[in-house]
A and B are shown apart, each in its own frame.
Chain A
Amino acid sequence: MHGRGGQGAVLAATILASALVEEGMCAVAVPSFGFERRGAPVAAFVRTDSKEIRQMTNIYRPDCILCLDPTVGHTVNIFEGVRAGGTLVQTTNKPLADLLLPPAIATVGLCDAVTIALAIFRRPITNTIMLGALAKTTGLVSLAALRAALEASEFRDAGLAQNLTALQRGFDETVVQHLDKADRAA
């Protein structure tokens, strides 16, 4: 998961791990921290498996990249180490054709999360929207499990309602596209 400080990448990773646990999976979320400044690139890693996960380490060969910010990709190589046939879930208001993707990416979920976030929160906090986008794109986790995880989190009252809306809109408004080999070659 790539984002910028303040967007909630770390919280999103924890909520995703909780949702996966809710689904009966094992999950570990490990955020990488620097000096915690708003706007600085931030990464967090989530592993999931049906059996116990012992590694408490970062991820260097991701199957899926969740990018909470439209421009952080200019600063860090978010595609570093991605496995062939990988998935990208990206915050953007651009069409697929405008994105520069490595050949390893086979599935893309695009969501204009910043616009949605500004409508719901009046601030560009994209994390829960993009969890909805992840659910839509990958099917790795259900919307119901994510909802349950949000309800068990520190969100309360209006904040919880907003985030549940964000989750739903992220799911509903994500466009998922499967790239065939020819597309990727181009």
Chain B
Amino acid sequence: MSAVIQPRKAQYVVCDGNEAAALAVALARVDMVAVYPITPQSSLVEYLAKFVADGKLAAELVDVEGEHSVLSVLQGAALAGARTYTATCGPGLAFMFEPYIRTPGLRLPLVMSIVTRDTLSPQSVWGGHQDAMSVREAGWIQMYCESVQEVLDTVVMAYRIAEDHNVMLPVNVCHDGNYLSYGSTRIELPAQDAVDTFLGTPDVNWHAALDPLRPMAIDPLTGGAGGVGPALFVGYRKGQCAGMHNALEAITATHQEWGRITGRQHAPLIEEYRMDGAEFAILTLGSMTGAGKDAIDEARTRGLAVGLVKVKTYRPFPVAALAAALNDVKAIGVVDRSVDFGWNCGPLYRDTLSALHHVAAPIRSQSFIGGLAGADITVEDFGRVIETTSALVRGAGGATIWINDKDRAPA
């Protein structure tokens, strides 16, 4: 669709998640975009290129020769003072890893969409969270979107969160390859004025700049036993942890403010759906959540006391919010779209178990893994997840259950 952003009025458009992300970038008046195409992100960068070509986005567009340079160009630009954006996934993210893991330490508030895709091998071009999950310890903030609208809203909000002076960390906005990247629906496009006021002028290199008017050295060697090095290094690391901690509050406040402006209240850290009186809960991440909610409604109709908790903010992990939400349930079923190798369960499952150390009573649990490599997780699949988890209330959980392992081609 050829949406035109209006200066003073919100409007409705029909678009997919990739176009929604690109529209958010235009709304955020990003200074520099560096891109390299990769399935299922490619149409997103095509939209950005088109927006720049059509004058809808007054950004410097750098078509570089690979994802490694994508992030490198943006690091340089941010150190010079630019608001920046890119998007990638899967093998592209893996190739980007060297500058990727460095970005949080430089405290650069870059925003990057991960149009999530399963990792190789087997060779695959389809959705799955394995790429984003593989970098969850790198120090970026990571938020997962449920809907196309949430993609647009979260990319805009990401700038305010990242550029918060108490945070100053890069943000990944994750939206599911296939189901959100290509799924189209009606969304509301906020007015440009509203976004301008919401985001303010970029102030991204107040702390670390490459500018002849403010000469300084960026990233001298730091460390080495027997001097001030280790203490300095620890100071920087603790600073990153403080930024992560402060992000919980910044994410919450930003979502509240966005809700005030647009009327759309997305849950900032976790969303609790029909958790009132829930005896057990299903945990979800990303675009699977819609089908999960429909399945919860059906189960409630059948008299099951089940609720759903969607984790939106995955890093920083919302430990307190999750512990509070799950305090009264007896069992949980956690549906992941990726694998935590070695533990051989889902990563959200493992993180949730860690958070549950803060809950008084022991909770029975079951890990489900589905939706790998573009597989669908349907309402019927969630029905089975709910049945299995319901049985846990009275019995022990077992080994990880693979949702799609018996999928067969139609006859």
Any B CB within 8 A of the CB of A27: yes
Q: Which residue of A lies closest to B50 (CB)?
A: A154
User: What 0/1 readout, one digit per residue, does chain A (67-100) give for beta carbons within 8 Å of chain B?
Assistant: 0000000000100110000000000000000000
A57-B291 contact, Cβ under 8 Å, with A18-B14, A80-B410: yes
- Contact partner of A29 (CB less than 8 A), chosen from B185, B290, B293, B378, is B185
Q: CA separation between A42 and B123, bound complex, in Å? A: 20
Residues from 21 to 77 in A contacting B, C-beta threshold 8 Å: 21, 26-35, 53-58, 60, 77
Tell me whether A14 and B291 are in contact (CB under 8 A).
no
Tell me whether A14 and B2 are in contact (CB under 8 A).
no
Q: Which residues of B contact A81 (CB under 8 A)?
A: 410
Residues from 353 to 381 in B contacting A, C-beta threshold 8 Å: 374, 376-379
Q: Which residues of A contact B411 (CB under 8 A)?
A: 77
Any B CB within 8 A of the CB of A10: yes
Q: Which residues of A contact B180 (CB under 8 A)?
A: 56
Query: Measured between C-beta atoms, what is the minimum distance from B370 to chain A in Å?
Result: 12
- Contact partner of A55 (CB less than 8 A), chosen from B184, B294, B410, is B294
- Contact partner of A54 (CB less than 8 A), chosen from B39, B40, B126, B294, is B294
- Contact partner of B182 (CB less than 8 A), chosen from A10, A34, A55, A153, is A10
Q: Which residues of B contact A33 (CB under 8 A)?
A: 39-40, 125-126, 178, 182, 374
Tell me whether A54 and B293 are in contact (CB under 8 A).
yes
Any A CB within 8 A of the CB of B51: no
Q: CA separation between A153 and B19, bound complex, in Å? A: 13
Q: Which residues of A contact B16 (CB under 8 A)?
A: 14, 29
Tell me whether A56 and B2 are in contact (CB under 8 A).
no
Any B CB within 8 A of the CB of A152: yes
Tell me whether B178 and A14 are in contact (CB under 8 A).
no
User: What 0/1 readout, one digit per residue, does chain B (54-65) give for beta carbons within 8 Å of chain A?
Assistant: 000000000000
Any B CB within 8 A of the CB of A143: no
Any A CB within 8 A of the CB of B258: no
Q: CA separation between A80 and B411, bound complex, in Å? A: 8
Q: Which residues of A contact B291 (CB under 8 A)?
A: 54-57
Q: Which residue of B lies closest to A31 (CB)?
A: B182
Any B CB within 8 A of the CB of A13: yes
User: What 0/1 readout, one digit per residue, does chain B (10-34) give for beta carbons within 8 Å of chain A?
Assistant: 0010101000000000000000000
Query: Measured between C-beta atoms, what is the minimum distance from B266 to chain A in Å?
Result: 14
Any B CB within 8 A of the CB of A114: no
Q: CA separation between A149 and B12, bound complex, in Å? A: 13
Interface size on A, residues (CB 8 A): 30
Any A CB within 8 A of the CB of B287: yes
A57-B186 contact, Cβ under 8 Å, with A14-B1, A14-B14: no
Q: CA separation between A90 and B158, bound complex, in Å? A: 45
Q: Which residues of B contact A31 (CB under 8 A)?
A: 182-183
- Contact partner of A32 (CB less than 8 A), chosen from B176, B178, B287, B379, is B178
Of A18, A32, A55, A56, which is in contact with the most chain B CB atoms at under 10 Å from its CB?
A: A56
Query: Measured between C-beta atoms, what is the minimum distance from A84 to chain B in Å?
Result: 18
Tell me whether A57 and B379 are in contact (CB under 8 A).
yes
Q: Which residue of B lies closest to A153 (CB)?
A: B1
Q: Which residues of A contact B178 (CB under 8 A)?
A: 30, 32-33
Tell me whether A60 and B125 are in contact (CB under 8 A).
no
Any B CB within 8 A of the CB of A141: no
Tell me whether A57 and B378 are in contact (CB under 8 A).
yes
Q: CA separation between A31 and B176, bound complex, in Å? A: 13
A53-B185 contact, Cβ under 8 Å, with A14-B16, A21-B12: yes
Q: CA separation between A13 and B185, bound complex, in Å? A: 10
Any A CB within 8 A of the CB of B179: yes
- Contact partner of B179 (CB less than 8 A), chosen from A27, A30, A77, A153, is A30
Any A CB within 8 A of the CB of B147: yes
Q: CA separation between A14 and B1, bound complex, in Å? A: 9
Tell me whether B2 and A152 are in contact (CB under 8 A).
yes
Tell me whether B410 and A21 are in contact (CB under 8 A).
no
Q: Which residues of B contact A58 (CB under 8 A)?
A: 376, 378
Sorted from nearest, which 7 A-B pairs have the closest CB atoms? A54-B290, A18-B14, A29-B184, A80-B410, A56-B179, A56-B287, A30-B183
19 pairs, A vs B, C-beta closer than 8 Å: A13-B184, A14-B14, A18-B1, A21-B14, A26-B186, A27-B14, A28-B185, A30-B179, A30-B183, A31-B182, A33-B40, A54-B289, A55-B290, A56-B290, A57-B290, A57-B291, A57-B378, A60-B378, A154-B2
Other 5 A-B pairs with CB < 8 A, given A31-B182, A77-B410: A21-B186, A26-B186, A33-B374, A56-B291, A57-B376
Interface residues of B (CB under 8 A from A): 1-2, 12, 14, 16, 39-40, 125-126, 147, 176, 178-180, 182-186, 287-291, 293-294, 374, 376-379, 410-411
